[in-house]
Amino acid sequence: MHKAVSENLVSCFLLLIGASLFPCHAMAVVTNGPNAANTVLVDAGMLEGSRDNNVFSFRGIPFAAAPVAQWRWREPQPVEKWNGIRTAKKFGNACIQTPGLSEKNGGSPGKISEDCLYLNVWTPGLQQGAKLPVMVWIHGGGLVFGSGAVPGYGGDSLAKRGAVIVSINYRMGPLGFFSHPALDAENTGMKNFGLLDQIAALKWVQKNISAFGGDPGNVTIFGQSAGAESVLALYSSPLARGLFHKGIAQSPYGIPGHTLEKARNVGVAIASELGLGGIRASAAQLRAVPAEKFAEFQKPELNLSPGFIAGDAALPATILDTFQKKQQAAMPLIIGNNSDEATVATAFGVDPAKVIQGLGKSRIFVKPLYPKVTNDKELGRQVMRDAVFTAFARRISYLQSQRAPVWRYYFSYVQERLRGSQPGVGHGGEVPYMLDTGNTCACLPVAFSKSDSNLAQRIGDSWVAFARTGNPQVSGLPQWQRDSVKNDRVLEFSETITLRKSFMQPRINALILGLKAAD
């Protein structure tokens, strides 16, 4: 994760614990002799894709106009229609981000450009009216890096199970989440442009996915890290109502969203850093800045990642506030996290032992919650995981369970050939299993074993079953009971898949009480 993201995450963590217990797209390529069997008609024109191993793929489909020049920091605009047949065999550009950052944290996002609002579709067939379940993947990356083209996010495997898979791009960093006085009036107060892009992609799905055999009335959104946080933001957004029907949130984080005042201050600081006079900068001056400049800001005071901005029409309140007020979408949800989520911080030199030492006298309240932990490094690793991820997943699960069915999981299955070399499953380590891409992505340090592949097969089956029916239960899994306030139930994906009752309950209860006090 980006250094500023990591620093913001850790500083928020310390704060919480310390307060208690701790203009247009590139021209379409027109073919002279298209393969009619690989073509579809969408609202903007005809597309030609590819077919491989009985899966059709369509890459680099524009779902909105390029957000450049006068369209920077505006709501997504409609795509201009094209003539002829547009070739959709290559991924579109990734949105502006620090070059190399995604490669270090999951894989290459592809070519980077401000012209980046593209999506990709994988489908087992092109029969209109097939009404296959649709799954829309939202990539992670702290809202500052990544794309739908990262190798581990391929949709082939899940598509072979009978689902239509979509991966999307969205604006990130200051180009995706930004506030400045010069922009307020013309944008009617919009700040979360990246979230608006996600909503625009879901609207495209509603209009066009039937051409790929998908059912617009059965759409599941799913994502990891910032993608999971995006899932919860879409549950919270009034503008996303009716655009999806279920969700899967893999490792969302309990980092508070930003106030309008904080976003304004950061925007003014960025304008000062650019030499534009801070608050005196005009919209024209800000839009004239080369897009790449907005990927250079690494100081925390110039960065809003990894949180959304609360207070605009896309996200009127923070995610947690919305769920507490029961104003979120009443849709089924799967939510969970991994056993070593602290890697999101340690990868950038944050020492878990120093985190514990930084708690000062509060350490005496934390240590009894982890009686089997004997050193500060391991204690810090586990406390960071639970305070930022495990407790937040349970908190959201309990709130959502009052409105709709919820299933909670905990992923502790370490890849077979890596056992003994790492303490648990790091942040993002579950993705090759949930998408069942471990055998094809060339994105892992060692190859999947038969045991790894078997687990990925079962989880992939479960995710598609949930998308199809609203229930993740499949053959090969123990009975996965719903999670609720009265019935604490977690399915642990480990070497043995086990349904846990009252999972980590004493420590999570204590952490939640502490986090509530810090809200």
Question: What's the CA gap between 88 and 92, in Å, rounded?
Answer: 9
* Given 48, 114, 229, 341, the catalytic residue: 341
Classify residue 208 as exposed, middle or buried by CB count within 10 Å of its CB (0-12, 13-18, 19+). buried
DSSP state of 427: T
Question: What's the CA gap between 340 and 424, in Å, rounded?
Answer: 5
Question: What's the CA gap between 112 and 295, in Å, rounded?
Answer: 11
- Residues in CB range of 35: below 8 A, 6 or more apart: 48
Q: Are 305 and 8 in contact (CB under 8 A)?
A: yes
Cis bond upstream, residue 109 (ω within 30): no
Per the DSSP assignment, residues forming a β-bridge with 45 are 42
First to last CA, the chain: 25
Question: Any catalytic annotation for residue 114?
Answer: no
Question: Any catalytic annotation for residue 225?
Answer: yes
* Given 2, 25, 245, 427, the catalytic residue: 427
Question: Any catalytic annotation for residue 139?
Answer: no
Question: What's the CA gap between 246 and 221, in Å, rounded?
Answer: 6
Element (H, E) at 166: strand 164-168
**DSSP output for 33-99:** S--GGGEEEETTEEEE-EEETTEEEEEEEESS----GGGTTSPPPPPPP-SSEEE-BS--PBPS--T
Q: Are 164 and 123 in contact (CB under 8 A)?
A: yes
Instruction: Give which of 58, 61, 14 is closest to 366, Cα–Cα.
Output: 14
Burial 254-279 (b: 16+ CB within 10 A, else e): bbbbbeeebbbebbbbbbeebebebe
Question: What's the CA gap between 476 and 468, in Å, rounded?
Answer: 17
- Residues in CB range of 73: below 8 A, 6 or more apart: 67, 175, 178, 183, 187, 193, 283, 286, 287
Give CA 394 to chain center in angstroms: 18
What's 491-508 look like in SS3? EEECCCCEEEECCCHHHH
* Given 225, 230, 236, 401, the catalytic residue: 225
Residue numbers annotated as active site:
225, 341, 427
